[in-house]
């Protein structure tokens, strides 16, 4: 299951997930984040239709429209451009969202599967995930693990000096999930900022000419243009795609065990991920935190999967 808020990097994450035979995507659940919930749902439907095949029949469900605590969040910068997909206009969705609420649907899927069969990849604010674990506590024992894109344990934030966007958007939810006892892997800004996609790769995707590769390249060009203006580099992070890669090829990253939580009260640190890697709290580790990444291997993996699965001249993806 993929819980997301498309978003350019969510779009690339979905493309990668459906291009990875190791994964069978049971459904896509949505939550407000990069853009509002209505736009997120519409984007997810359009993206799944563009991917086609099994994705076009994958249930897409509406989740929460705001954070658990209903505290106004830091205003979003227009990182993702018009409609959240960098101004790329995709064909209108051919279907509506699946009936029901995302949280209840996730619980039904977990109860209908063998314990430990389902991994939840969360690339958005953790509102839906926290609600799932709170409203349906039996599902904690049913999940194989949760792979989260969020936080910045050892690096500055991207929304405040201390906090990454997903955790800052709903700190209470992020804290609830980190302290839930469910096996957890965290892919934060510490590693996503090290695994950049260069302009040459975006251009190569557009030049390929297939519908998905073209859309992916155009979205990445938008993000790279923003990085060039803001950070003076012709490359961009695709945060959420690295979380999918972590679920498929965890050996691409380096991991350390830590006790983690999320700060909810700090005047300047609200939403910050706290990771005790040295055992100073005396609390047992509750997560594996990514601390390093083979950036070139990830770049090659992403391009191979996208071009190999969707490209105009497809070749088997490794």
What's the CA gap between 171 and 98, in Å, rounded?
28
Task: Taking the CA atoms of 22, 139, 184 and 122 in sequence, report the sign of the dihedral they define.
Answer: positive
| Burial class of residue 166 (count of CB atoms within 10 Å of its CB; 0-12, 13-18, 19+) | buried
Map residue 60 onto helix, strand or coil.
Answer: strand
What's the CA gap between 123 and 248, in Å, rounded?
15
What's the CA gap between 72 and 303, in Å, rounded?
38
Among 98, 105, 110, residue whose Cα is nearest residue 56: 98
Q: Is 64 known to be catalytic?
A: no
Contact 124, 33 (CB under 8 A): yes
Instruction: Spot the catalytic one: 80, 168, 222, 239.
Output: 239
Among 155, 158, 118, 121, residue whose Cα is nearest residue 139: 118
Preceding omega of 7 cis (within 30 degrees of 0): yes
What's the CA gap between 2 and 4, in Å, rounded?
6
Contact 161, 268 (CB under 8 A): yes
Which positions are catalytic?
239
């Amino acid at each position: 299951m993929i819980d997301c808020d498309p978003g350019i990097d969510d779009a690339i994450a979905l493309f990668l997930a459906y291009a990875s035979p190791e994964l069978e995507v049971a459904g896509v659940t949505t939550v407000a984040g990069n853009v509002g919930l209505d736009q997120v749902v519409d984007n997810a439907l359009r993206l799944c239709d563009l991917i086609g095949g099994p994705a076009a029949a994958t249930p897409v469900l509406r989740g929460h429209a705001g954070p658990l605590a209903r505290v106004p969040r830091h205003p979003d910068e227009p990182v993702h451009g018009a409609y959240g997909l960098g101004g790329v206009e995709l064909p209108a969705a051919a279907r509506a969202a699946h009936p029901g609420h995302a949280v209840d649907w996730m619980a039904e899927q977990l109860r209908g599967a063998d314990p430990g069969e389902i991994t939840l990849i969360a690339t958005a604010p953790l509102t839906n995930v926290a609600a799932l674990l709170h409203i349906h506590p039996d599902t904690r024992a049913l999940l194989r693990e949760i792979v989260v894109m969020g936080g910045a344990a050892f690096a500055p934030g991207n929304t405040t000096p201390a906090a990454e966007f997903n955790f800052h958007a709903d700190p209470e939810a992020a804290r609830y999930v980190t302290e839930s006892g469910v096996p957890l892997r965290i892919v934060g800004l510490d590693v996503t900022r090290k695994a950049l996609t260069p302009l040459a790769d975006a251009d190569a995707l557009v030049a390929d000419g297939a519908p998905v590769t073209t859309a992916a390249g155009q979205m990445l060009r938008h993000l790279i243009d923003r990085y060039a203006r803001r950070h003076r580099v012709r490359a961009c992070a695709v945060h959420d795609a690295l979380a999918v890669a972590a679920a498929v090829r965890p050996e691409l990253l380096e991991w350390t065990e830590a006790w983690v939580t999320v700060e909810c009260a700090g005047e300047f640190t609200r939403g910050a991920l706290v990771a005790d890697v040295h055992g100073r709290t005396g609390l047992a580790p509750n997560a594996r935190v990514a601390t390093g990444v083979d950036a070139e291997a990830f770049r090659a993996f992403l391009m191979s999967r996208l071009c190999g699965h969707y490209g105009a001249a497809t070749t088997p993806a490794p």
